[in-house]
Homo-oligomer: A and B are copies of this chain.
């Protein structure tokens, strides 16, 4: 699967999810674009800085036009049509799938070991959304009670690694992206949760 295409798809859906999140906060139009941009480039930028690569949107600035278009289109769309419930979460699920596997692929391509590939995939997938939530004053989605979010990225990155031997790299990437999106969407649809651990309330 073409890595660049995946990054373009990833920034587009994350830009839309960021703009949608910002619209719920009554930000102005530039705020929507800025939050959309941060959501879209956050994870990939962190990936590239940590792996000491040229940052993807500096190397290929056309990502920035895609982001601008996706964020503005989201604004126009939400003005005209009632956004379906959970539109934000669904877009976010696809962004998570695209970026977590692109992060895993790039780390694996640089000959990093299993656990680094998984952590890098997860970071790439979740960091943009975490930045979006921190900037808009929310507890990050990823940390809300029992949400299956980073879990989906982790499982997907592990699947990607396990598929390295048997099948072609592109198919491995496609299958593992499907796994991430499926787990995340299923978790949204059926309210799957992880066990919550709490400290005993003794003092």
Interface residues of A (CB under 8 A from B): 20, 22-32, 34-35, 37, 45, 49-52, 54-55, 57-58, 61, 64-65, 75, 78-79, 82-83, 85, 112-113, 115-116, 119-120, 130, 134-137, 139-140, 142-143, 145-147, 150-151, 154, 193-200, 202-203
Contact = CB atoms under 8 A, between A and B. Distances in A.
Given A23-B199, A58-B51, A199-B23, A143 B135 contact: yes
A145 B143 CA distance: 27
A134 B134 contact: yes
Nearest to A75: B197
Kindly report how many copies of this chain are found in the complex they form together: 3
Contact of A32 (B26, B151, B197, B202): B197
A147 B30 CA distance: 9
Given A20-B199, A28-B146, A37-B119, 4 more contacts: A27-B143, A34-B142, A49-B49, A58-B112
Nearest to A31: B143
A29 B116 contact: no
A28 B58 contact: no
B28 A61 contact: no
Nearest to A107: B58
A64 B55 CA distance: 24
Contact of A52 (B54, B64, B112): B54
24 contacts: A26-B197, A26-B198, A27-B143, A27-B196, A28-B147, A29-B194, A29-B195, A29-B196, A30-B194, A31-B143, A34-B143, A52-B52, A52-B54, A58-B120, A61-B115, A61-B116, A64-B115, A64-B116, A65-B115, A79-B197, A82-B200, A83-B199, A134-B135, A136-B139
A150 B50 contact: no
A112 to B, nearest CB: 7
